[in-house]
A = this chain, B = another copy of it.
Amino acid sequence: MDVFKAISERRSVRKFKKMEIEDQLIYKILETGLWAPSAGNLQSWDVILINDQEIKQKLTTAAYMRDFISEAPVVMVLCANMHKSATIYNDRGRELFCIQDAACAGQNMLLAIHALGLGACWVGAFDEWLVAEAVVLPRHLRPVALIPFGYPDETPLPPPRRELDELIHWNKFGQEVCIER
């Protein structure tokens, strides 16, 4: 699938068919995550893939009872590896770079999921501690997204986006600096 088509036609899918996903597709999806850029090429992120119904149910609970999570055949728990990034970059690694590493990898994987005829939804609203408990995370892995995915059973319409004109600023944003050091 063309990259511009994949980017513009990807939607958040919250309804899934009761169909398993072939392992080969899952590997292909994760591989696209590995090709994302990362600070110092450290690839400071990890994933846990959940297909166990009981654990999926715990993730639904952690995400304030969004039932579509446990209804997906597989749920990806995307984690920022704070320790790995902090080893080189200290606080900036722990609080910024590992979150960006995971997000860029996550975006690649969302595009791959769509291009393979699957659907997914990036879920950010959850209790991190409950997720960590459900999938047995060590202290240095911070869960930063839940990504349930599977064969889509809905075709969502494109949600509104901002106008390009509003987004583009040349050379400076405002008239004076307001940020304080």
Contacts and interface: CB of A to CB of B under 8 A. Distances in A.
Interface of A: 1-8, 10, 12, 27-28, 30-37, 39, 41, 43, 46-52, 55, 79, 89, 92, 95-97, 99-100, 103-104, 106-108, 110-112, 115, 122, 124-125, 128-129, 132-133, 135-139, 141, 144-145, 159-162, 164, 167-181
Contacts of A167: 30, 33-34, 46-47
A115 B55 contact: no
Contact of A3 (B52, B111, B178): B111
A159 B41 contact: yes
Contacts of A111: 3, 7, 111
A49 B170 CA distance: 5
Contacts of A174: 136-138
Given A107-B107, A137-B177, A171 B10 contact: no
Contact of A178 (B32, B89, B138): B138
A105 to B, nearest CB: 8
A181 B41 contact: no
How many copies of this chain does the complex contain? Answer: 2
B137 A41 contact: no
Given A1-B3, A7-B112, A39-B125, 7 more contacts: A7-B111, A30-B164, A37-B107, A37-B122, A43-B161, A48-B170, A139-B179
Contacts of A43: 161-162
Nearest to A123: B39
Given A41-B160, A96-B144, A162-B43, A32 B4 contact: yes
Contacts of A136: 172-177
